[in-house]
Amino acid sequence: EVHLVESGGDLVQPGGSLKLSCVASGFSFSTYWMTWVRQAPGKGLEWVANINPDGRQTDYVNSVRGRFTVSRDNAKNSVYLQMNSLRVEDTALYYCVRDVLFGRFDSWGQGTLVTVSS
């Protein structure tokens, strides 16, 4: 069974940094694209970033490009999201998601909460 477990969410001040982690199990991690999706409180879903299986290709939504960096360690079955220059509007529940192909998100973690506030 596929499991995705996020961690690292916290309360941080505007301008601060945070690194989210997601540990995967139950599948061949190194063969899948991985994605981060976020959901602000009471709002809809927003795709944030993705990374290809070997880690050489990454994509970002415009609002985080240049501030967030997605990476992975296939030896540790883990994907990360380094978030810098955090803004109040980055406050959200961040989900780690497995992408089968072109956005077919078939497995989701439970999410980790990031709150950006002074």
Site of interaction with another protein (CB under 8 A): 35, 37, 44-47, 50, 59, 61-62, 95, 99-106, 108-111
Q: How far is the CB of 13 from another protein (least distance, A)?
A: 28
**Which of 7, 13 has the CB closer to another protein?**
7
CA atoms of 78 and 60, how far apart (whole Å): 18
**Which of 41, 44 has the CB closer to another protein?**
44
Pair 49, 68: CB distance under 8 Å: yes
**Which of 29, 36 has the CB closer to another protein?**
36
Pair 56, 74: CB distance under 8 Å: no
Phi-psi group of 31: left, alpha or beta (phi > 0 → left; psi -120 to 50 → alpha; rest → beta): alpha
Q: How far is the CB of 15 from another protein (least distance, A)?
A: 26
Q: How far lies 62's CA from each of 6, 47, 54, 76, 101, in Å?
A: 23, 10, 23, 29, 21
Q: How far is the CB of 77 from another protein (least distance, A)?
A: 19
Q: How far is the CB of 75 from another protein (least distance, A)?
A: 26
CA atoms of 70 and 21, how far apart (whole Å): 10
**Which of 16, 46 has the CB closer to another protein?**
46
